[in-house]
Amino acid sequence: MTRTPWGLAPLLTLAFGAAAAQAADVNVYTSREPDLVKPVFEAFTKTTGVKVNAVFLQNGLEERVKAEGQNSPADVIILVDAAKLAAAVDMGITQPVSSTVLDKNVPSQLRDPQGNWFATTLRSRVIYASKERVTQDAMTYEDLADPKWKGRICIRSAQHPYNVSLIAAAITRLGPEKAADWLTKLKSNLAKKPSGGDRDVAKDILAGVCDIGVGNTYYVGLLRNDPNPSQKAWGEAVKVLDSSFAGGGTHVNISGAAVAKFAPHKDEAIKLLEFMSSDQAQKLMADGNYEYPIRASVQDADTEKLFGPIKPDSLSLSEIAKNRKAASELVDKVGFDN
């Protein structure tokens, strides 16, 4: 389904005509919300003089690029989730990029080893806790299996991509057997059947259904600034714990970008990716959705002001993506969502 980004033309358009395919343009296919990428594209154009023509596709972006083949006008592909970026590589719709700027700005574990994609922001998956009933401020993901939390944890479906990624990271770090034991014990600690979304986890904590839960950081930021008093209360009821693997760091997923295989404006496409890794663009993207920048050099990001800095886990996202299928199968094996 393609959603028309009303109100953003001519920056965001639904088709690329001859006028759009000029040497000084770059054409972007993005699954990121238009309001989140528009400020970055505008800043890029102001800095470089290169115009950005973009189409927003909520679903089916990769399939569209694949179907267009060599006639595709796409120069840059922007996707959410490392697994989707890895799948785009497997579909043959990206090309490797050699850039000293990207190699310097994007940590090695946050990019494809062959240079097919690069992270643009971090989406940290953390542990929410009741401000009133939980005194600790830090917790490991392994601690979610501790019997002391029996009947006290809420979480959305483990088959949701956010949780599949976390479980895949557990498999990568702990190994299949220990990860299976961890997930089984986590299931026994649930207060209710997995359901809803990350916002509902905060809602259930406020209601006393559970004391802790798992969710992405940015939902708490969005809730606390929601004009709806009820949702604002959900966000104010929870605190974000310093969450990490034992001996490791915080599990993160990403939004990321790749140069399309048949990019008609490859040089401009690489320039856009390099700009998106700059401090200026990093702050714009992170602040737009309470995500974390990929670079520690970005100062005063709104997310850090709310939740403090994070130490992303050192696991390669490419390795985690390889374990996504095993993670999904493990969810079914232990009957986590039942």
pLDDT in tens, 79-121: 998 989 999 999 999 999 999 999 999 999 999 999 999 999 9
- Residue 310 is assigned to a structural domain of this protein: no
Examine the domain organization and report whether 169 and 260 are in the same domain: no
- Residue 220 is assigned to a structural domain of this protein: yes
Examine the domain organization and report whether 92 and 217 are in the same domain: no
- Residue 47 is assigned to a structural domain of this protein: yes
Instruction: Please compute Rg for the chain using Cα positions.
Output: 20
pLDDT digits (tens, 9 = 90+) for 176-226: 999 999 999 999 999 999 999 999 999 999 999 999 999 999 999 999 999
pLDDT digits (tens, 9 = 90+) for 107-158: 999 999 999 999 999 999 999 999 999 999 999 999 999 999 999 999 999 9
Examine the domain organization and report whether 221 and 328 are in the same domain: yes
Q: Is 292 annotated as a binding residue?
A: no
- Residue 157 is assigned to a structural domain of this protein: yes
Examine the domain organization and report whether 65 and 196 are in the same domain: no
Task: Give the domain range for residue 217.
Answer: 124-250+318-333
- Residue 154 is assigned to a structural domain of this protein: yes
Q: Is 29 annotated as a binding residue?
A: no
Examine the domain organization and report whether 129 and 41 are in the same domain: no
CATH number, position 234:
3.40.190.10
The DSSP bridge pattern shows strands 212-216 and 118-130 to be antiparallel
Q: How many domains does the chain have?
A: 2
Q: Which residues contact 169 (CB under 8 A, 6 or more apart)?
A: 245, 251, 313, 315, 320, 323
- Residue 11 is assigned to a structural domain of this protein: no
Examine the domain organization and report whether 234 and 283 are in the same domain: no
- Residue 12 is assigned to a structural domain of this protein: no
- Residue 77 is assigned to a structural domain of this protein: yes
Examine the domain organization and report whether 329 and 216 are in the same domain: yes
Examine the domain organization and report whether 201 and 140 are in the same domain: yes
Residue 128 DSSP code:
E
First to last CA, the chain: 30
Cα-based distances in Å from 216 to 16, 127, 209, 271:
35, 8, 19, 30
Percent of the chain scored above 90 by pLDDT?
80
Tokens (6 digits) for 275:
């700009």
- Shortest CA distance to 315 belongs to which of 144, 115, 110? 110
Examine the domain organization and report whether 75 and 222 are in the same domain: no
Which pTM does this prediction carry? 0.85
